[in-house]
């Protein structure tokens, strides 16, 4: 007994020394991370950030930095709500995984068996399209195809999206290439609605938010109680000044990106992910589950491969990159990362899981700097994976400056080739028509005060003035400058000198891909 007592005393003594040492180690890591966050916010002009880190089933950081709105005093806290945008996609995938567990569908279920009116541009693709295909970004459509049906905020419905889908241009063979696609996740939400008989917003509340105790999280911004003032405002920097933008503009993204959450709530989601769907005080075989371990493995399985640059291999030790179901994945310095970012006008976020290290993090910001959240999450990985020190803020700042300078040089070079003496073929008023695109709908070009004006029929925010560029090409300058999405409008004339059709293309390559103007073919409606 004395020997046993001595052994127990030794173990107790060792544990009493190890636990404080571990706590001290985490505190030191978090101190460095907080310093890096402050520097990142200053460098990239980000008013507010919230971060949560989960390690070994414990929340080791959940903290707000900065302010909810630039120029005001309200501080960001761990309960401040941000738009998580496309980090919603993993939740939609999780809902489908739960339905698979219940036998209500399978990953190979054909979409047309649930939504008979679903129709892709190709009949074979329509017939073969499965639930997995909705989530894997390999439909054959282009990057962000059809996003103008949902962004900026439109009057179109899910029914309109289903009608317009078949008119979108195919850019690759079915299941052959990766191209990020929001519309497919909206259709995935429609699948959930039809299988359960409930709106997606109610299903996600009942099956994810309520069980996990994500009490402040809402499926859309419009569901946030008016008395809740702890909601981040979105910001867009223009000419070094921050502009507050948006409101509930995430609504139409629904199952593709409309959730508003906090890092306190998201930490509960992170723990459930690390525990392969299990949640509660104890995570064992008897724990309640959002989905089974089998479905967790399915969602983290590579479905669509992405290319890996030589630079990524050399610098990050990355050899593979892929998309699963609601998640990106890659290897990074010897560990597998399960990750996703979210972005909308004025607000971006990042979620990263490192399952083999039992580590996860979420970064929410109220400015649209992807460089900022990248610098923060990589700094966290540096500390918790004990990688060589690197100033990620400086790295991304230099990278951003180089990118901006390169695009500016390209635009200046393009401007030098413009024939400034060229004239448009028709009188300005003759370009004024109501135009129609098969998947988007009506777009009005009107003539007033000797100028042409454009208004997208289903999108109030897309309102601007056309300036002559050269020949029969104009540039539409949107009145809302925070959109940063000015576009060329090129009129194609027929043999009689009338307008056959018009096409559009973003002027800057930095324009968000959801402004998929290049997929439009505008034909005068009266023809």
Is residue 329 within 8 Å of residue 343, measured between CB atoms?
A: no
Note the pLDDT of residue 58.
96
Whole-number pLDDT of residue 21: 55
Q: State whether the Cα torsion 128-130-136-141 is positive or negative.
A: positive
How large a percentage of the chain has pLDDT more than 90? 90
**Rama region for 226: left / alpha / beta (φ>0; ψ in -120 to 50; rest):** alpha
pLDDT surpassing 90 at residue 355:
yes
What average pLDDT does range 492-508 have in this prediction?
95
Average pLDDT estimate for 22-41: 91
**Average confidence (pLDDT) over 331-355:** 97
pLDDT above 60 (res 19): no
Q: Answer whether residue 440 shows pLDDT above 50.
A: yes
Give the span between the Cα atoms of 518 and 3, in whole angstroms.
79
Say if CB 376 and CB 40 are below 8 A apart: yes
For the cut 50, the answer to whether the pLDDT of residue 468 exceeds it is yes
Global pTM reads 0.93
Read off the pLDDT of each residue in 53-58 and give the average, rounded to a whole number. Answer: 96
How far apart, in whole angstroms, are the C-alpha atoms of residue 9 and residue 15? 10
What's the sign of the alpha-carbon dihedral 230, 236, 238, 244? negative
Ranges in the chain annotated CATH 2.40.128.50: 428-524
CATH fold of the domain at 46-139+174-395 = Beta-lactamase (3.40.710)
3-state secondary structure of 54: strand
Residues of the chain with CATH 3.40.710.10: 46-139+174-395
**pLDDT for residue 252:** 83
pLDDT for 122-156, tens place per residue? 999 999 999 999 999 999 999 999 999 999 999 99
Write the DSSP assignment of 191-214 as a string of letters: HHHHHHSS-HHHHHIIIIIHHHT-
Cβ–Cβ under 8 Å, residues 381 and 373: no
* Model pLDDT, residue 20: 56
How does the average pLDDT of the chain come out, rounded?
94
pLDDT at 9 over 60: no
Q: For 86-117, what is each residue's pLDDT tens digit?
A: 999 999 999 999 999 999 999 999 999 999 99
Domain 428-524 has CATH 3.20.20.70: no
pLDDT at 250 over 90: no
Q: How confident is the model at residue 527 (pLDDT cuts 50, 70, 90)?
A: low
């Amino acid at each position: 007994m004395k020997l046993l007592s001595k052994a127990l005393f030794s173990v107790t003594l060792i544990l009493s020394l190890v636990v404080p040492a571990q706590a001290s180690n985490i505190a030191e890591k978090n101190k460095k991370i907080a310093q890096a966050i402050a520097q990142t916010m200053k460098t990239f002009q980000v008013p507010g950030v919230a971060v949560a880190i989960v390690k070994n089933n414990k929340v080791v950081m959940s903290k707000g930095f900065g302010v909810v709105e630039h120029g005001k005093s309200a501080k960001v806290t761990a309960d401040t709500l941000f738009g998580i945008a496309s980090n919603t996609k993993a939740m939609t995938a999780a809902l489908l995984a739960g339905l698979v567990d219940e036998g209500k569908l399978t990953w190979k279920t054909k979409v047309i068996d649930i939504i008979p009116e679903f129709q892709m541009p190709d009949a074979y693709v329509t017939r073969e399209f499965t639930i997995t295909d909705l989530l894997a970004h390999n439909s054959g459509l282009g990057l962000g195809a059809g996003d103008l049906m949902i962004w900026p905020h439109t009057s179109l419905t899910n029914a309109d999206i289903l009608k317009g889908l078949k008119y979108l241009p195919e850019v690759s063979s079915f299941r052959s290439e990766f191209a990020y696609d929001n519309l497919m996740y909206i259709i995935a939400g429609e699948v959930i609605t039809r299988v359960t008989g409930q709106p997606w917003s109610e299903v996600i509340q009942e099956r994810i938010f309520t069980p996990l105790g994500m009490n402040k999280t809402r499926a859309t911004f419009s569901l946030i109680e008016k008395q809740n003032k702890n909601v981040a405002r979105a910001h867009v920097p223009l000419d070094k000044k921050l502009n507050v933008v948006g409101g509930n503009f995430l609504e139409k993204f629904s199952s593709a990106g409309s959730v508003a959450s906090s890092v306190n709530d998201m930490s509960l989601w992170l723990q459930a992910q690390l525990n392969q769907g299990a949640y509660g005080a104890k995570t064992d075989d008897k724990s309640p589950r959002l989905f089974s371990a089998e479905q967790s493995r399915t969602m983290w399985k590579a479905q669509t491969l992405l290319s890996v640059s030589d630079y990524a291999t050399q610098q990050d030790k990355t050899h593979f990159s892929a998309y699963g179901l609601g998640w990106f994945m890659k290897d990074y310095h010897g560990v597998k990362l399960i990750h996703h970012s979210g972005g909308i006008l004025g607000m971006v976020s990042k979620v990263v899981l490192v399952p083999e290290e039992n580590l996860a993090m979420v970064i929410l910001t109220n400015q649209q700097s992807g460089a900022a959240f990248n610098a923060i999450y990589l700094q966290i990985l540096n500390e918790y994976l004990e990688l060589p020190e690197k100033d990620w803020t400086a790295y991304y700042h230099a990278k951003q400056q180089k990118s901006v300078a390169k695009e500016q040089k390209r635009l200046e070079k393009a401007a030098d080739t413009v024939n400034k003496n060229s004239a448009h073929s028709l009188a300005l008023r003759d370009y004024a028509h109501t135009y129609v695109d098969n998947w988007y709908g009506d777009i009005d070009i009107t003539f007033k005060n000797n100028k042409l004006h454009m208004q997208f029929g289903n999108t109030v925010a897309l309102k601007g003035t056309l300036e002559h560029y050269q020949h029969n090409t104009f540039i539409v300058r949107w009145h809302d400058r925070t959109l940063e999405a000015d576009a060329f409008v090129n009129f194609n004339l027929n043999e009689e000198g009338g307008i056959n059709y018009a096409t559009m293309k973003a002027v800057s390559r930095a324009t968000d891909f959801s402004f998929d103007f290049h997929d439009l073919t505008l034909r005068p409606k009266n023809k």
